[in-house]
Amino acid sequence: MNTRRHRSALLAVTGTALVLSLTACQSGGDTASSATPEATVAATVAADAVTAQPAGEKGTGTSGASGSTDSARSQGSKGSAGSTGASGSSGTIGERASASAPLCTAGNVTISAATQDGPPYTHIVLTAKNTSSHACRLTGFPHIQFLESHKRDVPAVAKSKPAAPVVLTAGAPAYALVKLSDGGIDEDVEPVTDFSVMLEGDPTVIAVTAPGSEGIAVDPAKALTGYWTPELREGADDF
């Protein structure tokens, strides 16, 4: 097809040249004015024949360029959108702040005891309150010794251990549920008016007054303690 179009264009140009030559010979000095319309038409036809291209080829070139541009734009937008992944660092910062808090000690925590539920009083609740002006970390469980005749800590119940560290802000409390006995008539219980508590990581002995005017009845073989928790979980530590 292209070869035929080129031949047609050449024939058209050749014919135009012959016509102009004959006209020039016949008209003499008036060649420029009489040959102008025909030369213009012939040149236009020849140019159209040479430069003509199928419409499909032009469309393909345009779409290819726009496609590459769109692809580059889409890649750029994806790259910029993916750069926001560093925003989820607030949880990590909170965990670091909790881990960096110093351990609570007998010097900045007071411990008190209160009865739990009604008679027979089988449980008490220990409250540890941060009396300092800064946060501290309360770990583990209270190391309790009720009786001089039983020089060993009350065992802790593993299921009461909280999932996250307990960090007490200034003035904040934490709680530990403590079992004294099963409440049976035939139990081997002993009266206790005060007892000792130590915090995890601090060997200082804290003297705690037992609740009630007559103190509490403790069966050393049945006594158990829960871990320190930031809230009083009634019924959660069922032991």
The mean pLDDT value for 207-214 works out to 94
pLDDT at residue 183, as a whole number: 86
Q: CA distances (Å), 221 to each of 146, 153, 178, 187, in order?
A: 11, 12, 13, 10
Residue, of 110 and 3, whose pLDDT is higher: 110
As beta bridge partners, residue 103 has 137
Q: Name the more confident of 100 and 18.
A: 100
**How high does pLDDT run on average in the chain?**
72
Q: Which sign does the torsion angle of CA 22, 27, 28, 34 carry?
A: negative
* pLDDT at residue number 68: 45
- Angstrom distance (rounded) from CA 219 to CA 86: 55
- Please state the pTM of the whole predicted model: 0.60
Give the residue-averaged pLDDT of 35-39.
46
Convert the pLDDT of each residue in 38-70 to its tens digit: 444 444 444 444 444 444 444 444 444 444 444
CA–CA distance from 208 to each of 111, 143, 153, 176 (Å)?
A: 7, 12, 15, 14
Q: Is 35 helix (H, G, I), strand (E, B) or coil?
A: helix
**pLDDT by residue (tens digit) across 75-119?**
444 444 434 433 343 334 444 556 689 999 999 999 999 998 778
Mapped to the 3 state alphabet, what secondary structure does 177-233 carry? EEECCCCCCCCCCEEECEEEEECCCCCCCEEEECCCCCCEEECCCCCEECCCECCCC
Higher pLDDT, 230 or 15: 230
Residue-wise burial string across 165-192, b where 16 or more C-beta atoms lie within 10 A, e elsewhere:
ebbbeeeebbbbbbbbbebeeebebeeb
- Paired tokens of 175: 């709680």
pLDDT score for 181: 93
Split at pLDDT 50, 70, 90, the class of 234 is low
Instruction: Please compute the mean of the pLDDT values over residues 126-147 and round it to a whole number.
Output: 96
Residue 206 has pLDDT above 90, yes or no: yes
Evaluate if residue 212 carries a pLDDT over 70: yes
- Mean pLDDT of the 12-33 span: 44
Show the tokens assigned to 26.
Answer: 């016949």
